[in-house]
Amino acid sequence: MDYKAALAELLSNTGVEKEEIEGYITKTLELSNGDYTLPCFKLSKKFRKAPAMIAEDLKSAAEANLPAWIERVDAVNGYLNFYLNRGEFIKNVVTSPYPTHGKNGKNICIDYSSVNIAKPFHIGHLLTTVIGGSLYRIFDYLGYNVVGINHLGDYGTQFGKLITAYLKWGNGEEQTMDSLLKLYVKFHDEAEKDESLNDEARMWFKKIEDEDETAVAIFNTFKETTLREVDKVYKRLDITFDSYNGESFYNDKMDEIVDMLKQKNLLVESEGAYVVEMGEDIPPCLILKSDGASLYATRDLAAALYRKRTYDFDKNLYVVAYQQNLHFKQVFKVLELMGFDWHKDCVHVPFGMVSLENCTLSTRHGKVVFLRDVLDTAVKKTLDIINTKNPNLEGKEKVAEDVGVGAVIFGALSTGRIKDMVFSYDKALNFDGETGPYLQYTHARCCSLLEKGNYDSDKAVDFSQLTSDVCYSIIKHIDAFDATVVDAGEKYEPSIISRYLIDLAQLFNKFYFDCRVITDDEAATTARLKITAMVRDVLKKGMSLILLKAPEKM
């Protein structure tokens, strides 16, 4: 039931529009104040009365036609508090089928991770990768047809630099990501002493553009090496993509964009280059450099048009750092000026920066922290903890992988995406704090209790056993799961689910310590195991939406 709407309907004959009342009703923070409350001071101007008097009047109106699902209504200090019938509510939640969202026929494109060819997959790529991967699962849960796009950085003069370095110092050997990074760093070191190296690099990049056989062959080896290496990390993170169309894919699609801009008289010459004037407070968007070369904006415009034609998206998301706010504002504005009404369906989903404690990143100078190394360290530290606390755990290496990797992921998804993140191994691997391991441990605790209690999902439940505050709080929270996922999708914010899961785990652990789950009272045991099973299921489903595995033993 949509309780806010139902409560608003109950009060709809009091002289206030139903939609207005529904907008004012909120969930209470304390059970002692009921389940929902209407702050009547918001109605003082309309009724020209004190909030306390309004609350009393509305209480009388509600009680005249009180439905069975409301236990009582109280007017307290200008607030109208509604108490649901706990028995009815609990029965409805426990016996209702799990909410599902059928396919809604809408397509959503999510551009995320977007690693650069021949550059390391480092800790700085963590946020875009896991935020995008989580949004992929959230929208899939909500019934969308999701298209995950890895917009590879495979275009630019840096590849000319790398080919130059490879031919001069690579010795023709098979390269790894580590050796490619060393070559890239060496090029910049040497170019500071010999400017002609930059000319040579530009020449090799031009050969790539002209599809020179040698240049393309060397570049393709860099691409294969990169994708082979990053795929190992993607598999550990359980991240998948439906498209790897990168920047170079749009080389033959940019002329159409330029022609469209010319036809609409939007392209303006500026100091030899060509721009689109934005008007308002947005700087001009550079489309072609003075030498005729394209830019990121040109390729992103081509990519947006291609995605609309190919996928007919309902939404087109770009999970890219907040430093690109202006870039996407310009791109979306150009699409609007071009007459594409779907420009409003293109959304930049920004996020903050990520770093390790006492560590700065610079690819050009070789100061990077490979994401694979961060994951390896987290897994090793987790295995050390397991060997100390539970050395005989079956399959402990697999558990360490799931928990260690999960700790890194949760560290990235536990706070609002726009905040900068400083990753700490000690904080992330804390089994008692608000962390991934804490969620996974709570899930494993649920599994252990269900196994010990020989849980039978078909056994009849005495709902009167579940009306205590602690049980009721858990069931109310479980009932809010679906709405929480909807909220996370609407706000493009996986951390909303992370926060929900932490709250659920804390509620359950309070229940676990306050109530013996397995007792001599069969009715109490059956009811408490039912709650435990519901918590297990919601934790597992919720963790899957934020890319965490759910070990059954830890």
What pLDDT, in 10s, does the model give residues 379-401?
999 999 999 999 999 999 999 99
pLDDT at 336: 97
Q: If DSSP codes are grouped into helix, strand and coil, which group holds residue 418?
A: coil
Distance (Å, whole) CA 199 – CA 208: 15
Instruction: Give the strand pairing for 421-423 and 354-356.
Output: parallel
pLDDT at 367: 60
Could you read off the pLDDT of 464-474 as tens digits, one per residue?
Answer: 999 999 999 99
CB neighbours of 201 closer than 8 A, spacing ≥ 6?
157, 160, 161, 163, 164, 187, 191
In this predicted structure, the answer to whether residue 357 has a pLDDT above a threshold of 80 is: no
What DSSP string runs through 271-292? TTEEEE---TTPPPEEEE-TTS
- Output the six-digit token pair for 194: 């010999």
User: In CATH, what number does 3-84 get?
Assistant: 3.30.1360.70
pLDDT at 14: 83
In this predicted structure, the answer to whether residue 355 has a pLDDT above a threshold of 80 is: no
Length of the chain measured in residues: 554
Report the 10 Å Cβ neighbour count for 34. 21
What does residue 150 show for φ and ψ, rounded to 5 degrees?
Answer: -100, 95
Query: In the CATH hierarchy, which fold is given to the domain comprising 105-253+292-355?
Result: Rossmann fold (3.40.50)
Could you read off the pLDDT of 45-88 as tens digits, one per residue?
Answer: 889 999 999 999 999 999 998 999 999 999 999 999 999 999 99
The gap between the terminal CA atoms of the chain, to the nearest Å, is: 37
In this predicted structure, the answer to whether residue 365 has a pLDDT above a threshold of 50 is: no
DSSP conformation class of 30: S
Could you read off the pLDDT of 485-519 as tens digits, one per residue?
Answer: 999 999 999 999 999 999 999 999 999 999 999 99
pLDDT at 358: 63
Q: 123 or 456, which is more confident? A: 456
Element (H, E) at 26: strand 26-27
Nearest to 257 by CA among 305, 292, 289: 305
CB 93 within 8 A of CB 466: no
Distance (Å, whole) CA 408 – CA 258: 43
Distance (Å, whole) CA 104 – CA 146: 11
Could you read off the pLDDT of 208-222 as tens digits, one per residue?
Answer: 888 899 999 999 999
- Output the six-digit token pair for 122: 């480092």
Could you read off the pLDDT of 231-244 as tens digits, one per residue?
Answer: 999 999 999 999 99
Domains of the chain, by residue range, sit at 3-84, 105-253+292-355, 371-545
pLDDT over 70 percentage in the chain: 97
What does residue 500 show for φ and ψ, rounded to 5 degrees?
Answer: -60, -45
In this predicted structure, the answer to whether residue 187 has a pLDDT above a threshold of 90 is: yes
CB 276 within 8 A of CB 266: yes
DSSP conformation class of 423: E
pLDDT at 293: 72
In this predicted structure, the answer to whether residue 147 has a pLDDT above a threshold of 90 is: yes
pLDDT at 359: 59
CB neighbours of 456 closer than 8 A, spacing ≥ 6?
none
- Output the six-digit token pair for 198: 């930059």
CATH architecture of 371-545: Orthogonal Bundle (1.10)
Cα angle value 209/343/252 (rounded, 5°): 15
Mean pLDDT along residues 529-549: 98
